[in-house]
Amino acid sequence: MSNAIAITSEAAGRYASALLGLAEEAKSLKTVEKDLKFLKSMFAASTDLAEMATSPILADAEKASALLALATKAKLGKLTQNFIGTVAGNGRAGELPSMITAFEQELAERRGTESAVVTSAKKLTAAQVKSISASLKKSLGHAVALETAIDPELLGGFAVKIGSKYYDATLKTKLEGLKLALKEA
């Protein structure tokens, strides 16, 4: 599964909006936000989970049962569990990652922040993350919620994806540009 921000479907946006409204109404927004971050990390870490959720072979009830068992074991909140059950029961278990992304985007928009994914060759230090966050806030004029990802193929440097904008300061891209320039010379 890719670390890039997924393009969300209209249905994913509607489900995310509904969950956000319910979480605000139940005054459990922080719990739901934490639960969804955990669930997102589970989907990112496990290709088996993603394949199970999108499998055409498994019935929706089986997917719902498996996802609810995972949610219970992870001690996710009742609202999040109900959401997972509803989504899976409606045949949209495979869209859960998109729904989580849509939820995060809508929440960030309501808070007046923007989400960004910073991908680097190795784990960034807290000071580096803070520095990148401050630079983005200064250049964009508003707060940015950073999510970090690691891609060793970048060799060095980092890339930042904010919405549809992509800023690339990786060593891999610089070397590819140099290679292309040398071919043309």
So what's the pLDDT on residue 129? Answer: 87
Amino acid letter at 109?
A: E
So what's the pLDDT on residue 8? Answer: 52
Q: Of 80, 108, 136, which one is at a domain's C-terminal end?
A: 108
Q: What is the pLDDT along the chain (185 residues), one digit of tens a residue?
A: 333 334 457 888 899 999 999 999 999 999 999 999 999 989 988 899 999 999 999 999 999 999 999 999 999 999 999 999 999 999 999 999 999 988 988 888 888 777 788 888 888 888 988 888 888 888 888 778 788 888 888 888 888 888 778 888 888 888 888 888 888 87
Q: The domain containing residue 157 runs over which residues? A: 112-184
So what's the pLDDT on residue 51? Answer: 93
One domain for residues 135 and 94: no
So what's the pLDDT on residue 4? Answer: 37
Q: Which residues, including other chains, have CB under 8 Å from residue 116's CB and lie 6 or more apart?
A: 136, 144, 145, 146, 147, 160, 161, 162
User: Among 165, 167, 104, 156, which residue's Cα sits nearest to residue 132?
Assistant: 167
Report the CATH number at residue 40: 1.10.520.20
One domain for residues 17 and 87: yes
One domain for residues 85 and 19: yes
One domain for residues 103 and 22: yes
Q: Of 81, 108, 135, which one is at a domain's C-terminal end?
A: 108
One domain for residues 89 and 123: no
Q: Say if CB 1 and CB 97 are below 8 A apart.
A: yes
So what's the pLDDT on residue 18? Answer: 93
